């Protein structure tokens, strides 16, 4: 896919959308002038072609014409390529990603309230395991436990993992757990519906049972309830068999069991299992 064909456009003199890093929103005003826009376009062209030397040349320019990456937001480009780091991550150019991460205030988790997207999302959406893992180990804001709209690092990893990644994202999740095992039970502060969710909740709702390497310890709305609601039969069965999940456990608010959520979610197979029992084999 040619990202430049999606009209990467920068609007000189316009205020950027609110950028959010570590839960702290702020706005930046870009430099004015056609020259800045041309420089930004040249940078994106170099990223698209995977020309590291050209990228470094654009980044090395000092003075008033320097490209400050925090100001390089292209609102009319496709979401995955609206910043240079997103673009490089989307293309899977790990050498350019590393060069961009060395720039001041450049982070894999930086995002804008208008699109709720980050470079980590861009890399994962295209199945670039190497880039995602690089972000987890080399992006400074992730090391400082930055939060993404109320999600912690493992929440975000669970959110971005998909079947384009190796082993459906299991390898990425296993790698993340090496660094962030202490955040397994961290609870989300995102919105009303996802408040108090652990990373396991996110895993279950998305039906990523190959990489549910998280502990089945929770209260209230349990991960197994979300799996049942989403109609994810294999995930529910795995939680019951391998993690000792209790099908009779109830949510705090409505006192619903797994069967309630299975019925609500239209999960016929799970309803039948609850009615007639399940085999351990």
Q: Are 189 and 152 in contact (CB under 8 A)?
A: no
Q: Is 77 a domain residue?
A: yes
Q: Could you read off the pLDDT of 5-39 as tens digits, one per residue?
A: 333 333 333 334 555 543 333 333 344 456 778 88
Residue 61 pLDDT grade (very low, low, confident, very high; cuts 50, 70, 90):
confident
Mean pLDDT of 89-104: 93
Q: Is 193 a domain residue?
A: no
CA 32 to chain centre: 32
Q: Could you read off the pLDDT of 235-252 as tens digits, one per residue?
A: 777 777 665 666 777 766
Q: Which domain holds residue 90?
A: 38-120
**How is 35-97 classified by DSSP, letter by letter?**
HHHHHHHHHHHHHHTT-HHHHHHHHH--GGG---GGG---TTS-GGGSSHHHHHHHHT-HHHH
Sign of CA dihedral 5, 10, 11, 14: positive
Single residue among 87, 120, 153 that ends a domain in this structure: 120
Q: Is 100 a domain residue?
A: yes
Residue 68: what pLDDT?
78
Mean pLDDT of 269-278: 58
Nearest to 153 by CA among 105, 161, 40: 161
Quote the CA–CA distance of 80 and 164 in Å, as a whole number: 15
Mean pLDDT of 123-135: 95
pTM, two decimals, is: 0.69
Q: Is 183 a domain residue?
A: no
Number of helices (H) and strands (E), helices first, in the chain? Answer: 14, 3
Residue 263: what pLDDT?
64
Single residue among 120, 155, 175 that ends a domain in this structure: 120
Q: Is 146 a domain residue?
A: no
Q: Is 226 a domain residue?
A: yes
Q: Is 31 a domain residue?
A: no
Residue 42 pLDDT grade (very low, low, confident, very high; cuts 50, 70, 90):
very high
Q: Are 180 and 141 in contact (CB under 8 A)?
A: no
Residue 91 pLDDT grade (very low, low, confident, very high; cuts 50, 70, 90):
very high
Name the more confident of 280 and 194.
Answer: 194
Q: Is 88 a domain residue?
A: yes
What CATH code is carried by the domain that includes residue 257?
Answer: 1.25.40.20
The number of domains in the chain is 2
Single residue among 69, 97, 120 that ends a domain in this structure: 120
Lowest model confidence (mean pLDDT) among 24-33, 40-49, 162-171: 24-33
Mean pLDDT of 242-265: 65
């Amino acid at each position: 896919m040619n990202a430049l064909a999606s009209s990467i456009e920068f609007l000189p003199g316009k205020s950027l959308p609110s950028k959010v890093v570590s839960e702290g929103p702020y706005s930046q005003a870009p430099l004015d002038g056609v020259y800045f826009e041309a420089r930004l376009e040249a940078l994106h062209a170099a990223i698209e072609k995977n020309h590291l030397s050209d990228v470094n040349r654009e980044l090395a320019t000092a003075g008033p014409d320097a490209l400050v990456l925090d100001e390089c937001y292209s609102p009319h480009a496709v979401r995955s390529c609206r910043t240079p780091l997103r673009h490089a991550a989307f293309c899977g150019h790990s050498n350019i990603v590393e060069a961009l991460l060395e720039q001041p205030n450049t982070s894999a988790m930086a995002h804008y309230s208008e699109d709720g997207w980050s470079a980590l999302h861009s890399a994962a959406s295209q199945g670039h395991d190497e880039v995602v893992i690089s972000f987890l180990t080399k992006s400074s804001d992730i090391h400082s436990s930055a939060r993404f709209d109320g999600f912690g690092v493992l929440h975000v990893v669970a959110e971005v993992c998909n079947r384009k990644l190796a082993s459906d994202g299991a390898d990425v999740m296993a790698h993340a757990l090496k660094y962030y095992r202490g955040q397994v039970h961290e609870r989300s502060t995102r919105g009303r519906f996802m408040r108090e969710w652990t990373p396991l909740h996110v895993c279950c709702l998305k039906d990523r049972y190959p990489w549910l390497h998280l502990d089945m310890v929770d209260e209230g709305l349990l991960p197994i309830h979300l799996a049942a609601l989403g109609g994810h039969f294999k995930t529910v069965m795995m939680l019951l068999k391998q993690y000792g999940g209790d099908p009779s456990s109830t949510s705090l608010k409505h006192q619903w069991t797994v069967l309630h959520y299975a019925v609500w979610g239209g999960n016929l197979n799970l309803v039948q299992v609850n009615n007639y029992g399940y085999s351990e084999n």
